[in-house]
Amino acid sequence: MVLWALAEPPVVDASYGLFSLFSTFEPFFRTVSWILGGAVGIYLILLTIRVYNERLKVQILKDIRYDLDQLNIHFGVRHSVHRPHFFKKFFHGLFRLFSGKRGGR
């Protein structure tokens, strides 16, 4: 019976093998995560700055358009409020078609 007890295979813990494998590659994973994290972080910061600058540009362009509209209203020139809508354009085109008037506006 003593021989039978000695013949048992040794118990090997599978998690120890995975832990040793992970500890071997841990410095590599840490370096890769720092590099990728830094690159993604810089990309997000630059993207945020770009969106902020584009919004500022749009706001400036809206202000310029408003100023031009006010000047055009003051001097009696057509402005963005006078833009004809779809139905107005459509009926104006039909009227011009049946009235026989040709040419530009």
Token couple for 13 = 């813990």
Contact indicator for 102, 94 with CB cutoff of 8 Å: no
User: Distance between terminal CA atoms of the chain?
Assistant: 113
19 band by pLDDT with thresholds 50, 70 and 90: confident
Average pLDDT, the chain: 80
Q: What percent of the chain has pLDDT over 70?
A: 75
Token couple for 94 = 């039909």
Residue with tokens 């006078």: 82
CA 101, CA 105: separation in Å to the nearest integer? 10
CA 63, CA 67: separation in Å to the nearest integer? 6
Residues 32-75 have pLDDT tens digits of 888 888 888 899 999 999 999 999 999 999 999 999 989 988 99
Contact indicator for 69, 79 with CB cutoff of 8 Å: yes
Higher confidence at residue 15 or residue 55?
55
What pLDDT is attached to residue 96? 82
Say whether pTM exceeds 0.85.
no
Helix, strand and coil in the chain, % to nearest 5: 80, 0, 20
